[in-house]
């Protein structure tokens, strides 16, 4: 594959890696798909192909699952003490950190996000997640249970849940890989990871660095491919647990299949998260935070604050301040150092988001700013877009858009806004801006969401549980609760006399 069409900003290392014809990573080996199929990964800033990538089918899924099974049951990984797993995970974190510049460029190229953001959010976050979970390895304890039977020792053991199929989206490619891989490795599981077809590059590189770090072959297998690859992984009887992040639609399907097969499952799905500015808020901070809350990552965040509720008395002022900020944002290619908002990830997402903007206009919402492409070239750009409306029932106020589109809605009372905020099938995140500590925590308890942000938005930490109420998902990731999802509990009874 020629490297001359790749953007000039790429370092030699990033260029060499991006331009390779990428194969699957199965049992520590790079292999072509069994049936030889490939697909192209596209640079969304230019709409040009980057390179070709192997498309895994059911036979590849089977090989990868078998490799993961062998690694789980019959390899040095199976008998490695917890401290050994911690050492390997930390070594992987070190290698990713040393390679941070390359990873940031690969994310900017493949996903379109601004390279500076890729570095501080995606790459640094990935390193932190691996280090956090390396710390858990030696802190997985069973318990001794004080049972009623005399002369009985009853204790629990925590064991790895087994072979994990992990299916991730394209919005934070390597960070999502780390959210999945790190707790699985800490628990002693083995993995078949399926990155999104739009953004396969960084997961493949993490897979290679894992081998370099000394993580045994077969512990992490990376299968690039399409939705059908993910479906084959979900269907494979050798997979013990599925961890999925993506759309609620696919999540429902995976939930139904894993339910029938009685596989373990965790699902991180969509959202339409309400963000509420109370009348006593620090308005400058609320405007700056709410702006970031929706337009960060070009709106492609599951916990984007996409419904903004502002008190009627301050509505015009807040809307004007948001529009002024939007007009100053630079929309452009991810590898340009001055870009604030990169393109959307794909032509499909571009069409989808533009169709929502069209729907907003057609339904009678007022378009305050944005709506157009906002950057030159063939990339999938969309300007930061702001609608106002008094109607919660509009399509743009109900459905997840997953783009830089904010819907601002006026309200009058706290009880009213809490009820309207909860009037959604989703429940991933919610936010409150206020100086009143009582109202802040009243709302925190009233809002039906897995995360509530008070005077901030979108905070993440490897130790803080993350996940959804209602149609936003099942289970939690991060910290002890996230680790638990990769463990089985075994109860051992010993008659002592």
Q: Is 268 a catalytic residue?
A: yes
CA 74 to chain centre: 32
Q: What is the DSSP letter of 330?
A: P
Report the residue number, 49 or 101, with the smaller CB distance to ligand NAP.
Answer: 49
Report the residue number, 62 or 94, with the smaller CB distance to ligand NAP.
Answer: 62
Report the residue number, 90 or 385, with the smaller CB distance to ligand NAP.
Answer: 385
Q: Is 189 a catalytic residue?
A: no
Catalytic choice (23, 197, 268, 400): 268
Binding site for ligand NAP (CB under 6 A): 167-171, 194, 196-198, 226-227, 230-231, 234, 245-247, 250, 253-254, 268-270, 302, 349, 352, 400, 402
Report the residue number, 131 or 180, with the smaller CB distance to ligand NAP.
Answer: 180
Cβ partners under 8 Å of residue 291, min gap 6: 322, 325, 326
Contact 145, 104 (CB under 8 A): no
Catalytic choice (137, 164, 189, 302): 302
What whole-number distance in Å separates Cα of residue 470 and Cα of residue 462?
23
Q: Considering the complex, what minimum distance in angstroms separates the CB of residue 333 from ligand NAP?
A: 21
What whole-number distance in Å separates Cα of residue 223 and Cα of residue 194?
5
Q: Considering the complex, what minimum distance in angstroms separates the CB of residue 400 from ligand NAP?
A: 4
Closest residue by beta carbon to ligand NAP: 230
Pair of tokens at residue 110: 């493949």
Q: Considering the complex, what minimum distance in angstroms separates the CB of residue 245 from ligand NAP?
A: 5
Q: Considering the complex, what minimum distance in angstroms separates the CB of residue 181 from ligand NAP?
A: 15
Torsion from C-alpha of 432, 435, 441, 443, nearest 10 degrees: -40
Q: Considering the complex, what minimum distance in angstroms separates the CB of residue 194 from ligand NAP?
A: 6
Cβ partners under 8 Å of residue 152, min gap 6: 493, 494, 495, 496
- Helix (H) / strand (E) element for 186: namely helix 173-187
Q: Considering the complex, what minimum distance in angstroms separates the CB of residue 301 from ligand NAP?
A: 7
CA angle 428, 170, 488 (to 5 degrees): 60
Report the residue number, 245 or 451, with the smaller CB distance to ligand NAP.
Answer: 245
- 385-388 sheet: strands from edge to edge: 366-369, 385-388, 405-411, 307-311, 274-277, 429-433, 451-454
What whole-number distance in Å separates Cα of residue 258 and Cα of residue 243?
10
What whole-number distance in Å separates Cα of residue 120 and Cα of residue 107?
12
Report the residue number, 182 or 243, with the smaller CB distance to ligand NAP.
Answer: 243
Q: Considering the complex, what minimum distance in angstroms separates the CB of residue 212 from ligand NAP?
A: 25
Neighbours of 249 (CB within 10 A): 10
Pair of tokens at residue 455: 């005077």
DSSP string, 406-425: EEEEEE--HHHHHHHHH-SS
User: Which residues are annotated as catalytic?
Assistant: 268, 302
């Amino acid at each position: 594959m020629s490297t001359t069409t790749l953007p000039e900003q790429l370092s030699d290392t990033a260029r060499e890696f991006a331009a390779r014809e990428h194969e699957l990573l199965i049992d520590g080996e790079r292999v072509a798909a069994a049936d030889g199929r490939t697909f192209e990964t596209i640079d969304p800033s230019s709409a040009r192909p980057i390179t070709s990538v192997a498309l895994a089918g059911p036979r590849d899924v089977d090989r990868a699952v078998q490799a993961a099974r062998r690694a789980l049951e019959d390899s040095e990984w199976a008998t490695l003490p917890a401290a050994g797993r911690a050492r390997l995970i930390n070594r992987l974190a070190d290698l990713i950190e040393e390679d941070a510049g390359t990873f940031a460029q690969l994310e900017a190229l493949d996903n379109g996000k601004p390279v500076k953001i890729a570095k501080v959010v995606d790459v640094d976050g990935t390193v932190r997640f691996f280090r956090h979970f390396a710390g858990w390895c030696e802190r997985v304890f069973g318990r001794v249970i004080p049972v009623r039977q005399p002369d009985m020792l009853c204790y629990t053991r925590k064991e790895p849940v087994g072979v994990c199929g992990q299916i991730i989206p394209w919005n934070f490619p390597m960070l999502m890989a780390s959210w999945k891989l790190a707790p699985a490795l800490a628990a002693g599981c083995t993995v078949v990871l399926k990155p999104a077809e739009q953004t396969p590059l960084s997961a493949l590189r993490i897979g290679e660095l894992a081998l370099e770090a000394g993580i045994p072959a077969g512990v992490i297998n990376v299968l690039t491919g399409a939705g059908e690859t993910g479906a084959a992984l979900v269907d494979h009887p050798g997979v013990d647990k599925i961890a999925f992040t993506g759309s609620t639609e696919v999540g429902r399907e995976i939930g139904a299949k894993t339910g029938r097969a009685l596989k373990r499952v965790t699902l991180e799905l969509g959202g339409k998260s309400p963000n509420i500015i109370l009348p006593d808020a620090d308005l400058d901070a609320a405007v700056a935070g709410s702006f970031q809350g929706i337009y960060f990552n070009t709106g492609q965040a599951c916990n984007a604050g996409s419904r903004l509720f502002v008190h009627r008395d301050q509505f015009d002022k807040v809307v004007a301040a948001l529009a002024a900020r939007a007009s100053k944002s630079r929309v452009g290619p991810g590898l340009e150092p001055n870009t604030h908002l990169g393109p959307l990830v794909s032509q499909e997402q571009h069409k989808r988001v533009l169709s929502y903007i069209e729907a907003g206009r057609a339904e009678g919402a007022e378009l305050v700013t944005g709506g157009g492409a906002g950057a030159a070239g063939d990339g999938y750009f969309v300007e930061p877009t702001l609608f106002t409306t008094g109607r919660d029932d509009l399509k743009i106020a109900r459905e997840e858009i997953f783009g830089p589109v904010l819907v601002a809605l006026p309200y009058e009372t706290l009880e009213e806004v809490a009820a309207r905020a909860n009037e959604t099938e989703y429940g991933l995140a919610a936010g409150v801006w206020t100086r009143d500590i009582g109202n802040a925590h009243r709302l925190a308890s009233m809002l039906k969401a897995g995360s509530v942000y008070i005077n901030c938005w979108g905070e993440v930490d490897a130790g803080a549980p993350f996940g959804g109420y209602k149609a936003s998902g099942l289970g939690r990731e991060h910290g002890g609760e996230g680790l638990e999802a990769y463990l089985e509990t075994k109860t051992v009874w010993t008659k002592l006399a």
